[in-house]
Amino acid sequence: MGGTEHIHQRLIEACKRGKDKARFELYQLYSRAMFNVCYRMMNNREEAEDMLQEAFIQAFTKLDTFRYESSFGAWLKRIVINTCINAKNKRKVELTYSEEIFNYDQPETGEDEEELQFTVAGVTRAMELLPERGRMVFSLYLLEGYDHGEIAQIMNITESTSKSQFMRAKRHIVKILKENTGGIPLTKNKDYGN
Amino acid sequence: METDRLEEFVRNNRRGFDQLEPSQKVWENISAASKKTKTRRLNVYLLRVAAVFIVVLVTSVMLYKSTILSPGYSEIIDDPEMRELMEAETFYAQQVSGKLKEIRKCYSTFPELKVEIESDLTELEFMYNELKNDLRENISNKAVIEAMIDNNRKRLKLVDEVLDQINC
């Protein structure tokens, strides 16, 4: 956390004063990253857009409370994730049921591991097939950069649940990739391959 | 372990995972919603201004009522002697200040004048304020009022005399 975190201070101050142009600029700066966060949380494009919209409206309304204690991105991301979690909690029934559909506690075979090539598209697709909680924990930990303590707080679960969900999710993604490709990447994209 | 390789792969390709773009309509909705809150904010601001205005208005009306229309004050206005005193006070004050202005123009020619006349006037004013206090305490009204008018006359006389003496 250095001097860069207040890089948009002027812009943020202009937004606080209600300048439309500044708001649009701030939106352009963060909307793409935040939309992808929404998508990973909701697993649905339309719902992700709704969440993005709601989160930005909320952020602009309570921008006065942003005091540069964290980076703006981190502040906004927290609003985005909370918006998504709240929306998900409204439909909690779906969330709990989805856990039982997959049995992803199988031990790893681990024999033909040199075969598997990861690609961004392949991993993204596999993430979409994960059960809700596993997908959330996986993206919150690996992509959004929260630790298990923070995830526990965000998702209202214990830290050890977060850790075990993450382990399962990783194994599950590997399994999906193997099943779907037979060792061959879903999309051949040399830029992302190992 | 493949899971570790997966973790490493995701970390190394973090940027690649932000591929999707939201559609145009998201901003349109946000912008429309923010405009709504903006007008609401403006209304809140106007309401605040109106509230402050009303408070100021009410206070000044109450103040007016409690001082000008208080029994003591209305008595003063009703009493013809008092009214006369007030009128006299305004008349003399105007005269004195007008003549003092003339005198002040001559301060550059007669610098010693300034100290003399202004200290005399201050003294008279001080006495006048004492009388005013007496009047408020209702000490022998008639005598006090006469003294006050006399004080005013003295001040006018003072500036008149000075004006006659200096010719500049």
Q: Do A39 and B20 touch (CB under 8 A)?
A: yes
Interface subset of A 68-97, CB within 8 angstroms of B: none
Q: Do B25 and A49 touch (CB under 8 A)?
A: yes
Considering the domain boundaries, does residue B89 fall inside one? yes
Instruction: Let me know whether B41 and B105 are in one domain.
Output: no
B32 touches chain A (CB under 8 A): no
Contact between A172 and A134 under an 8 Å Cβ cutoff? The reply is: yes
A39 touches chain B (CB under 8 A): yes
Number of domains within chain B = 2
CA-based nearest residue in chain B for residue A31: B22
pLDDT score for B109? 77
Radius of gyration over every alpha carbon of chain A, rounded to an integer in angstroms: 19
Considering the domain boundaries, does residue B60 fall inside one? yes
pLDDT score for A194? 36
Instruction: Let me know whether B91 and B58 are in one domain.
Output: no
A174 touches chain B (CB under 8 A): yes
Q: How far apart are CA A99 and CA A76, in angstroms?
A: 29
CA-based nearest residue in chain A for residue B42: A18
pLDDT score for B49? 86
Mean pLDDT of chain B: 82
Instruction: Let me know whether B27 and B105 are in one domain.
Output: no
Instruction: Let me know whether B34 and B105 are in one domain.
Output: no
Instruction: Let me know whether B86 and B64 are in one domain.
Output: no
Q: Which domain holds residue B110?
A: 79-165
Contact between A38 and A80 under an 8 Å Cβ cutoff? The reply is: yes
Q: How far apart are CA A145 and CA A71, in angstroms?
A: 14
What CATH number belongs to A92-181? 1.10.10.10
Considering the domain boundaries, does residue B27 fall inside one? yes
Which stretches of chain A drop beneath a pLDDT of 70?
1-5, 92-115, 181-194
Q: How far apart are CA A145 and CA A40, in angstroms?
A: 13
A65 touches chain B (CB under 8 A): no
Out of B6, B35, B69, pick the residue that ends a domain: B69
Q: Per-residue pLDDT averaged across B108-134, rounded?
A: 83
Q: Per-residue pLDDT averaged across B61-78, rounded?
A: 66
Domain at A8-90: CATH architecture? Orthogonal Bundle (1.10)
- Helix, strand counts (H, E) of chain B: 6, 0
pLDDT score for B40? 65
Reported pTM:
0.58
Out of B37, B69, B101, pick the residue that ends a domain: B69
Mutate: best of A25, A26, A27, partner B, most B CBs <10 A = A27
pLDDT score for A192? 40
Q: What is the 3-state secondary structure (H, E, C) of A52-119?
A: HHHHHHHHHHCHHHCCCCCCHHHHHHHHHHHHHHHHHHHCHHHHHHHHHHCCCCCCCCCCCHHHCCCC
Instruction: Let me know whether B48 and B111 are in one domain.
Output: no
Q: What is the pLDDT of residues B5-64, one digit of tens each?
A: 999 999 999 989 999 999 999 999 998 887 766 666 667 778 888 888 999 999 888 888
Contact between A130 and A163 under an 8 Å Cβ cutoff? The reply is: no
Instruction: Let me know whether B91 and B158 are in one domain.
Output: yes
Instruction: Let me know whether B131 and B59 are in one domain.
Output: no
pLDDT at B168 exceeding the cut of 70: no
How big is the CA angle at A102 (ends A100 and A105), to the nearest 5 degrees? 100
Instruction: Let me know whether B51 and B85 are in one domain.
Output: no
Confidence band, pLDDT 50/70/90 cuts, at residue B77:
low
Instruction: Let me know whether B90 and B135 are in one domain.
Output: yes
Q: Which amino acid is at B14?
A: R
Q: Do B7 and A142 touch (CB under 8 A)?
A: yes
Per-domain boundaries in chain A:
8-90, 92-181
Pick from A91, A88, A87: nearest CA to A54? A87
pLDDT score for B136? 80
Q: How many CB pairs under 8 A join A and B?
A: 96
pLDDT score for A191? 42
Q: Which helix (H) or strand (E) holds A183?
A: none
Instruction: Let me know whether B63 and B90 are in one domain.
Output: no
Out of B69, B95, B127, pick the residue that ends a domain: B69
CB atoms within 10 A of CB B58: 10
Residue, of B50 and B76, whose pLDDT is higher: B50
B143-160 per-residue burial string, b: 16 or more CB within 10 A, e: under 16: ebbebbbebbebbeebbe
Kindly report the backbone phi and psi dihedral angles of residue B110, in degrees, each rounded to the nearest multiple of 5, phi listed first.
-120, 85
